[in-house]
């Protein structure tokens, strides 16, 4: 038989579980935002790496042109 003490305890447990669930939802939302920010930063880094490669190649070509100029 369920008495009032059991009902109160069950309600407290459910309240705590709801609180934990809400915190988890907030945490997951924040994590999703961080994941999106990380994806943006990753794209920025990839762009910078490509730009660096381009500039290194440009420097190499310019050095060759400079070396081939009459002295």
Angle, vertex CA 68, rays to CA 66 and CA 71, nearest 5: 85
Instruction: Give the 3-state secondary structure of residue 1.
Output: coil
pLDDT digits (tens, 9 = 90+) for 4-57: 888 999 999 999 999 999 999 999 999 999 999 999 999 999 999 999 999 999
State the pLDDT at residue 14: 98
Backbone conformation region of residue 2, classed left if phi is above 0, alpha if psi is from -120 to 50, else beta: beta
- Rg, the chain, Cα only: 31
Give the tokens for residue 42: 């990753």
Whether pTM exceeds 0.75: no
């Amino acid at each position: 038989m369920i008495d009032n003490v059991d009902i109160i305890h069950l309600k407290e447990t459910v309240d705590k579980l709801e609180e934990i669930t809400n915190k988890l939802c907030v945490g997951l939302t924040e994590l999703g935002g961080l994941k999106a920010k990380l994806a943006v930063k990753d794209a920025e880094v990839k762009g910078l790496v490509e730009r660096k490669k381009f500039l290194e190649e440009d420097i190499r070509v310019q050095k060759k042109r400079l070396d081939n100029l009459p002295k």
